[in-house]
């Protein structure tokens, strides 16, 4: 045996040291962040308050519940909402949370609309080809906060369309092309 040959004992220690080293991939993997929503519908008085996304994927049971919660409540008809709408609402609420406002409640005044309901609402300013018809839009206010704060939050959170209406209380958010508008009713 030469001088540089490790003894059996040194070899065993070296081996166990290698095995005990934590894998960097395991040690540094960030925990996925669950996304929750707290919603209230002033028309139906219904509430939604739960995690809808586990950070990796949308939760099927919560998705079903949200599709019903966001239904056309004039006709009691639901659709498959664009899941990006859930994330839009979550980002809006998160904007308040990051400013120390806690978990705010979003009031959902209108979401999915059937053609019939949308035509009836056109007298109130609803667009003919409204994204509400395809389950891609929500009209919101935030409990306890005014329109100016809401508009700032919506501008920061939006990835899609945002509409504000003179005299209207809520902000319209949709998952269409990136744009915003201020309009008289």
In the complex with Zn ion, the residue whose CB is nearer, 35 or 172, is 172
Binding Zn ion by CB under 5 A: which of 93, 139, 141, 150?
Answer: 139
Question: Does residue 172 touch Zn ion according to CB under 5 A?
Answer: yes
- Name beta bridge partners: 130: none
Tokens of 77: 């008809």
CA 159/CA 185 separation, integer angstroms: 24
Residue with smallest beta-carbon separation from Zn ion: 172
The reply to whether 53 sits near Zn ion by the rule CB under 5 A is no
In this chain, which stretch among 9-17, 36-44, 87-95, 135-143 interacts with Zn ion, using CB under 5 A?
A: 135-143
Would you tell me how many other CB atoms lie within 10 Å of the CB of residue 77? Answer: 13
Q: Give how far Cα 106 sits from Cα of 6, 39, 116, Å.
A: 68, 5, 26
Nearer to Zn ion, 71 or 172 (CB): 172
CA 31, chain centre distance (Å): 18
* Element holding 88 (H helix, E strand): helix 83-97
**Residue 71 is a binding residue for Zn ion (CB under 5 A):** no
With respect to Zn ion, which residue has the nearer C-beta, 53 or 136?
136
Number of residues that bind Zn ion (CB under 5 A): 3
Using CB under 5 A, list all residues that contact Zn ion: 137, 139, 172
């Amino acid at each position: 045996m030469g001088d540089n040959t490790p003894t059996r004992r040194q070899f065993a220690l070296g081996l166990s040291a290698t095995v005990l080293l934590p894998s960097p991939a395991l040690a540094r993997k960030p925990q996925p962040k669950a996304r929750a929503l707290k919603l209230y519908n002033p028309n139906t008085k219904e509430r939604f308050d739960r995690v809808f996304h586990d950070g990796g994927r949308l939760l099927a049971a919560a998705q079903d519940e949200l599709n019903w919660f966001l239904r056309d409540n004039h006709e009691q008809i639901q659709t498959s909402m664009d899941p990006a709408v859930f994330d839009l609402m979550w980002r809006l609420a998160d904007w308040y949370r990051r400013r120390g406002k806690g978990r705010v409640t979003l009031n959902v005044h209108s979401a999915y609309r059937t053609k019939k309901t949308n035509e009836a609402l056109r007298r109130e300013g609803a667009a003919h080809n409204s994204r509400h018809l395809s389950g891609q839009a929500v009209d919101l206010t935030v409990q306890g906060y005014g329109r100016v704060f809401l508009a700032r939050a919506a501008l920061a959170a939006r990835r899609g369309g945002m509409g504000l209406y003179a005299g209207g209380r809520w902000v319209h958010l949709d998952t269409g092309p990136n744009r915003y508008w201020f309009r008289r009713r």
